[in-house]
Amino acid sequence: MSIVVDVKVIPSSGRQKCILDKSGQIKCYLKSQPEKGKANAELVDFIASSLKVPKELVTMQFGATSPRKRIKINLQISLDDFMKAIGIEKQLSI
């Protein structure tokens, strides 16, 4: 079983952090620049290390040249557990 998530990447931000914006979109701030696949590789590495799985289980389905990415994680995990692993706690209020 696997999970597929859509992510918006903010490269060259000087930090490595994911948040949930007001519209419910996952935004990942990355240190790498958006050139030669550096930010894409950092995103895959970040997700894999957050989930403590080999990066081969994390693949980019599309969005290699766009800030909007679709990521597939070949792991049986709930969306809530995925969000917790990448540092996004369930938001109880606005």
Cα 60 to Cα 6: distance, rounded to the nearest angstrom: 10
Does the domain formed by 3-85 have CATH 3.40.50.620?
no
Q: Which pLDDT does position 91 carry in this prediction?
A: 56
Q: Which pLDDT does position 89 carry in this prediction?
A: 78
**b/e burial code for range 49-83 (CB count within 10 A of at least 16 → b):** ebbebeeeebebeebeeeeebebebeeebeeeebb
Using an 8 Å Cβ cutoff, are 41 and 67 in contact? no
pTM of the shown model: 0.90
* Side chain identity, residue 86: I
Per-residue pLDDT of 42-86, as tens digits, reads: 999 999 999 999 999 999 999 999 999 999 999 999 999 999 999
Per-residue pLDDT of 3-44, as tens digits, reads: 999 999 999 999 999 999 999 999 999 999 999 999 999 999
Domain boundaries, the chain: 3-85
